[in-house]
Amino acid sequence: MQFLTSLQELLFPPHCLGCGLPSAPLCSRCKNSFPLDNHQIHIGRVTVYSAVNYNAVTRRILLAAKEDGVRSADDLIVSALHHSLLYAMRNTDNQPILVPIPSASRAVRTRGRDFVQEISKRLSPLVGLPVQNLLRHNRMVNDQSRLDASGRFKNLDGAITLTKRPIRVHEVFLIDDLVTTGATLNEAVRTLEVSGFKVAGAVTALVSLPLR
């Protein structure tokens, strides 16, 4: 696999993930569109910590990671999540577990991996907090990108469930790549709280302005 990656890089020299210029992983201009910052929004009572605004460049980086499995794009998403998580950790004395927001099973089949579960696994040793894949979708959901805000909340109502009844109830940081309306996070928080978990916060790499 490593050999194939090196061969690919030899045949197709890496380009900027944001604009395609021959300067990887990001050219200096696109780097300016990926500044690590501390954004906070609130979904119900839960604070969402994010590092970077969703824009044309960050959208391309996320797609390269999520849909094409480009390793350097994964690295950028992990670095943004790491930044937000360190900030979120300042607001709790406990040692929450990391719980990834699950992908719809159709997306996992197409991509060959559950993207957020995989980047959460990479995040875990960086912050010394364990990951538990506690959540899954329990029914088909429609593609969220075609729905408005209220459609997204309806689409996800009751759609996320626990994978198992845990022996111990923990404090949790929810992990996701991007927050838009917060419909998915809201549903995940509801599922965890009715089972006795305390959600210490949600952490995402990217934050998009709320949809109307």
Of 192, 205, 206, nearest to 97 by C-alpha is 192
Instruction: State the CB neighbour count (10 A cutoff) for residue 182.
Output: 23
User: Contact 131/124 with Cβ under 8 angstroms?
Assistant: yes
Q: Report in angstroms how near the CB of residue 36 gets to Zn ion at its nearest.
A: 17
Distance CA 129, CA 97 (A): 6
Q: How many positions of this chain bind Zn ion (CB under 5 A)?
A: 5
Q: Report in angstroms how near the CB of residue 138 gets to Zn ion at its nearest.
A: 40
User: Contact 198/168 with Cβ under 8 angstroms?
Assistant: no
Per rule CB under 5 A, is residue 18 in the interface with Zn ion?
A: yes
> In terms of CB distance, is 23 or 124 closer to Zn ion?
23
Nearest-5° Cα angle at 37, 126 to 26: 80
Distance CA 109, CA 107 (A): 5
> In terms of CB distance, is 62 or 172 closer to Zn ion?
62
* List of residues 6+ apart from 142 with CB closer than 8 A: 155
In the window 166-205, what residues touch Zn ion (CB under 5 A)?
A: none
Could you say which of 25, 27, 184, 197 contacts Zn ion (CB under 5 A)? Answer: 27
Per rule CB under 5 A, is residue 108 in the interface with Zn ion?
A: no
In the window 29-68, what residues touch Zn ion (CB under 5 A)?
A: 30
> In terms of CB distance, is 27 or 134 closer to Zn ion?
27
**Candidate segments 13-21, 77-85, 103-111, 133-141, binder of Zn ion by CB under 5 A:** 13-21
> In terms of CB distance, is 7 or 21 closer to Zn ion?
21
Could you say which of 19, 129, 149, 162 contacts Zn ion (CB under 5 A)? Answer: 19
Of 124, 105, 129, 125, nearest to 115 by C-alpha is 105
Residues that bind Zn ion (CB under 5 A): 16, 18-19, 27, 30
